[in-house]
Structure 1
Amino acid sequence: MNDFAIENDVFIAFETFGARTVPNIVTRLGVNSGQGALIYALDLACDLEELAGLDDVKLLARVKKSPRPIRRIKSNAAPILMSLDDAPDHVLGDVTRDGWLQRAEKMRQEPEFIQRLLRGAEAAESVYGTSKHVEEQIYEGFVGRQDERLMASFHTVAWEHRVEMIRQFQDVRLKRLAQRLVYFERPDLLTDADRDLMAAELRRRLVGEGHEAPLWLTVEKALAELDEALGKVGSDAPALAGYREHLAGLHAISDGL
C-alpha cells in the first residue's frame, strides 16, 4: 500500500462514516515515525497557502480541526484507494487531473513545509497512557513469535499442561491471561498462594476497591441500577428479580473473599 502511495503522486483515499463513503484527493506526505503502517496524506482540497502561512502552534491547531487537512491511512486496515487516472469525473470536482497534480507538485517544492506537516500530524496523534489492567494493554507492544506458538498450543493441551505453560510465556500480559483462564476453569491446579492472589483480585474487581473510577460496572453499581429499573417496572418482573438475586449473591461472595 505504501508503494501505491509513492508511485501515485496523487490518489483517491476513501473514508467511511457509517453508511457514507467520502473520497479525498490526497498526496502522500510520509509515514509515522513509530508506526510504519500509518501513512499521512495531505488533502489537496484544503487551502495550501493558508497552511503554509501558519506558525507551528497554529498549524497544529489546524491539523486537529475538522475537517482535518491530513488524512491518516493505515496500510494494515485494508484502505480503499484509487489512482487519479481511474477516478470518475464527479470525484475530481471542478479541478482537472492536471490541476490536482499541479497542486501536489507545488507542495513538493517546499520540503520544509512537508516536514512541518508531518510534525504536526504526529503531534496531533492521541497519546494513551499505560494501564495496570491487562485488558487495556493490547497496544503496549507486539507478542513475540515464541509466545504466538505457545498461545496456539495452550488451547489444545490438557489443563494440567497449561499450568506448566504459564511460566513459559515471555509476555507478562499473556502470563496473567493464562493464569486467569486456569483460575476460572481449573483452580484446583493452582497453588494455594496463586488462588489467594486471584481471589483477592476478583474481590477488588467486584467491589471496585482501590480504584477511584473503575472502568467496569461493579456489583454495587449494578445493584443500584437494577433497583432503579425495578422501581420503574414494579416487582412483577421475575427476570429482573432473579438477576437481582444473582447480583446480591455476588455481593455476598465478594464480601467474603
Structure 2
Amino acid sequence: MYLFYDLETSGLEPCWDVPLQAAFLQTDANLTVRRELTLRCRLPAHIVPSIDALMVTGVTPEMLENQRDSHSEMMAQIARIIANCKPAMLIGYNTIRFDDEVLRQSFYQSLLPPYCGAMTGHGRADVLTMLRAVMMLEPDAVVIPRDALAKPVLKLGEVCRLNGIALSEADAHDAAADVRATRDLFSLLLERAPTTMATMLGHARKSGPLALMDAGEPIILGGTSRLTPVLPMIGSPTNPSARICIDLSQDPAAFIDLPAPELLAGIRSNRSPVRQVKTNAQPILVGWDQGAHALVEREPDQVYRNRARMLWAHPTFTRQLALALQDQYADREPSPWVDGQLYQGGFISDADSAASRRWHEIAWEHRAAFAAQHIADPRLRTLAIRQVFLHAPETLSPEARTRGRAWLRERLTAEDEVPWMTIPRALARCEELAATSDPETRGGLEKIRDWLMDRREALGIPPATIVATACTAAS
C-alpha cells in the first residue's frame, strides 16, 4: 500500500514554520486510489508566515484564520492517518528533505510522536530522489526541463507538464493537486525505468542500502546531479542510521596518513573525501555493475579497486576517520529555543511518550498540572504549557498567563536577530515586494500588511511603533 502526501506550509524553516494544508492519497499496490483526504488548519497564534510563501500559494489572511481545525488538531489527525495506514510506503515529492522534517518538528511541538512516519514499519520514498536517480542512470526514460543555462529544473509542475501529466501552474502549490501529480509521476517512472525504480524502492527501508554496503566493496552513490564511486567503510560515530563512505574518485594518498585533526579539516573542505549515507533517507545507491556506466570522467575499474584495497589495508585510517568524525559537530552551538531542540536532548523516553498520549486525552483544564507532574522531559513540559496557553489560556494561573503573553509578544515582535519570522520582518518584506509588484499583487500585499498591523496592534503596540519598526527592519 502507498500513502502519498504533500504539505503546504507557512514557510521553509521546519523548526519555525508549520503545515497549513495536508493532502493524502492512499492507493493499493497497483496505484488505484482507495482514499483521498485534504486537511487545513488555522495559523497558530505564535507563527508569522513567510510573505513570499503566501504570495506563491495564494493563501490569504482569511484562509489562515477561518479554518475549523487548530494546528494541534490537524497534527493529531495526520498522526492518526499515518498510524492507521501502517505498514505502508510514505511517498511525496521532496518529502524526505522537507515535508518529513516539517511533520517531525510539528509532531514534536504538539507532543505527538516525532518519528511516527519512520519508526512504525513504514517505508519512506521520495519521488524527487527517484527522479534524480532515473535522470542519472537512465537519462532517456523521462524528459527533464532545463533552464537557459541547460541546468535541470526539477519543479514538480514543470516536470509533470513536460511528461504529459496535468498540473497547471495555478494548481502547483495546492497540496491536493500536488499529491495527485506525484502519484502520476511515480507511476510514469515505474513504467519507464523499472530497474532503477526497483532498486530505489528497495532503499525506502534501511535494510536495502545496508545490504548493499555491508560487503565493503566499491559501489555507486548519487547526489543531486552526479554519481560518485565510493567505498563503504564504517558506521557514523554521530548518526546510528548512517554509514561513512570514501570517495574513490580521489586518490587516497592525499589523506590516508593524516591524523584525525587534519583529516577533519579535509572533511570540512570543499573537496571532502567523505560521504555520509543516511540509510533511512532513501539514498541513491546502486551496485557497481548497475551504475558504473553512468560515471562522469570514469577511470579504469582497476584504479577504483586498487584505491579500495589501499584504504582497507591501511593500519590506522579507519581509526583516525572515526576520531575525526566524532568531533565533526563538537563546535556546533545548541539552540537556546525549545523549538530547535528536538535533536539535542535525545529520543523521547517511553514513559514521556505514554504521558504525552495521556496528556492529549484529558481536558485542557487538567493538562498544565498533568505535564508538571508526569512529563519528565523539560522540552515537552515547556511545549505542553505553550500548547495550553495557545488553546486554553483561561485554565492557567494568572502568573502563567502573564508569562505566556510576554512570550507571545516577544515571539511576534522580536527586534533581535532570531531564526523565525516576526511581524516587523514580515512588514518590511511586504514593502520590498510592493515596490516591484504589479497593481494586483500590491493589492494582495496590502491586505497582508493590514492583517499584520492588526495582529501587532492586538499586542498593545501602537501603529506608529509598527511603522517605525518595519522601516528599521527594511533598512
TM-score range, shorter chain: 0.7 to 0.9
Where in structure 2 are there 5+ consecutive unaligned residues? 1-206, 462-475
More helix by share: 1
**Alignment CA distance shift 1:8-1:101 (3 Å):** farther
Q: Which moved more, 1:167-176 or 1:30-39?
A: 30-39
The correspondence for 1:29, drawn from 218, 233, 248, is 233
Where in structure 1 are there 5+ consecutive unaligned residues? none
Counterpart secondary structure, 1:220: helix
The correspondence for 1:42, drawn from 242, 246, 262, is 246
Q: Show the 5 A alignment for 1:79-228.
A: 79-84=283-288, 86-91=289-294, 93-96=298-301, 100-125=304-329, 127-140=331-344, 141-167=346-372, 168-208=374-414, 212-228=416-432
Paired with 2:404 and 2:281, the residues of 1 have a C-alpha distance of 37
The alpha carbon displacement at 1:159 in A equals 2.2
Write out the 4+ residue segments of structure 1 that deviate beyond 6 Å after TM superposition: none
1:9 aligns to what? 216
Deviations 1:6-65 (A, max 9, x none): 641214253331xx3x43332233223343223211122211122236566654333223
The alpha carbon displacement at 1:69 in A equals 1.0
Deviations 1:201-235 (A, max 9, x none): 111112216xx312223223333333454555599
The answer to whether the 8 A contact 1:29-1:118 is kept is no
Number of residue pairs the alignment of both structures matches? 250
**Alignment CA distance shift 1:80-1:239 (3 Å):** closer
The answer to whether the 8 A contact 1:5-1:28 is kept is no
**1:245 aligned onto 2:450:** yes
Counterpart secondary structure, 2:244: strand
2:459 aligns to what? 254
The answer to whether the 8 A contact 1:13-1:24 is kept is yes
* Percent of residue pairs identical: 25
Relative to the length of structure 2, the TM-score reads: 0.46
Structure 1 letter corresponding to 2:414: G
Relative to the length of structure 1, the TM-score reads: 0.80
Q: Which moved more, 1:221-230 or 1:36-45?
A: 221-230
The alpha carbon displacement at 1:124 in A equals 4.2
Paired with 1:174 and 1:195, the residues of 2 have a C-alpha distance of 18
Paired with 1:179 and 1:138, the residues of 2 have a C-alpha distance of 17
The alpha carbon displacement at 1:147 in A equals 1.5
Paired with 2:330 and 2:400, the residues of 1 have a C-alpha distance of 37
The answer to whether the 8 A contact 1:41-1:72 is kept is yes
**Alignment CA distance shift 1:117-1:100 (3 Å):** same
